[in-house]
Amino acid sequence: MELKQFVTTVGGLTVHYARAGRGAPLLYLHGMLGLTSFDEAFARLAESFDVIAPCAPGWGPAKDDLTRMDQGPLDLTLHNLDVLDDLGLDRVHVAGTSIGAWMAAELAAIAPQRVDRLVLINPVGLWLENAQGEDPFAVHPGMPSELLFSSADLRRKHVFDGRDKVDAHVGELLDLRASAKFLWPIPDTGISKRLPRIKAPTLIVTCEKDRVVPAAHGPAWQQAIQHAELTTLSGVGHVPEMEQPGRLATLVAQFLLERRVAAVA
């Protein structure tokens, strides 16, 4: 997946992004590990959509821009709107995973006229006393993202295979540092009071083996967003875009194209 880049007209941030495919535009907002191992899901989605997948400020090649972002949602949301404006995209489908799902929900709540349909995959941002989930920032520094995966072997495969081990580990730590700015110490972003503003048809996707955002969070998101649908992927951890890219892409595509949940869970 080759990254292109441009500088935003407002804010002057360099945007590193991948874009491919044909069809309705789909803005994909990545999770805690950035665009690591997103290639297969990206290619699958590009079969049906014009997919735009930017690195958020603070992740990957945009790691040095983290200090330019406020901890709240406004800077990130305005940045994503700037990205759409500079690419000439007035209205798009939006899908996001993990922290990217939070960003996607904020975008749909703050600028509902810009979002056609919305998919939120393992979204962070709510705090439920009876389903708190495990803390992704309170883990051993030698295996900082293991909690995101359903098995240690899958972390090794998707984070390290084919990459320099030191570079991969440093990148993993930097991506989690960016996530921590917005989610630590308690991942309550205040979005609960903005979710009712979302007008786009919405699909909430949870994952059976997600230890960070337990599947019990799904009904809370569904209840807060008018007419939202909910489904759960079996046997998958917090990063289905890496563990099961084909199943996830099928689920996203069918909802966006036909507004129904594919029978892949």
**The domain that contains 142 carries what CATH number?**
3.40.50.1820
Residue 1, pLDDT score: 84
> Per-residue pLDDT averaged across 50-55, rounded?
98
Residue 259, pLDDT score: 81
262 pLDDT higher than 70: no
Please check whether residue 36 lies inside any domain of the structure. yes
Please check whether residue 72 lies inside any domain of the structure. yes
Banded pLDDT at 242 (limits 50, 70, 90): very high
CA 243 to each of CA 158, 235, 248: distance values in angstroms, whole numbers, following the listed order: 8, 10, 9
233 pLDDT higher than 90: yes
Residue 157, pLDDT score: 95
State phi, psi for 14 to the nearest 5 degrees.
-80, 125
Residue 264, pLDDT score: 52
Report the percentage of the chain scoring pLDDT > 90.
Answer: 95
Boundaries of domain holding 41: 4-256
146 pLDDT higher than 70: yes
Residue 261, pLDDT score: 83
63 pLDDT higher than 60: yes
Please check whether residue 264 lies inside any domain of the structure. no
61 pLDDT higher than 90: yes
Q: What angle do CA 63, 65, 70 make, to 5 degrees?
A: 120
Please check whether residue 42 lies inside any domain of the structure. yes
Residue 137, pLDDT score: 95
Report the percentage of the chain scoring pLDDT > 70.
Answer: 98
Q: Is 0.85 topped by the overall pTM?
A: yes
User: What residues form DSSP beta bridges with 206?
Assistant: 232
Question: How many domains are contained in the chain?
Answer: 1
Please check whether residue 263 lies inside any domain of the structure. no
Please check whether residue 239 lies inside any domain of the structure. yes
Residue 255, pLDDT score: 97
Q: pLDDT by residue (tens digit) across 28-51? A: 999 999 999 999 999 999 999 999
Q: Report the b/e string of 85-106 with b at 16+ CB within 10 A.
A: eebeeeebbbbbbbbbbbbbbb
Q: Cα(262)–Cα(265) distance, rounded to whole angstroms? A: 8
Please check whether residue 216 lies inside any domain of the structure. yes
Please check whether residue 218 lies inside any domain of the structure. yes
263 pLDDT higher than 70: no
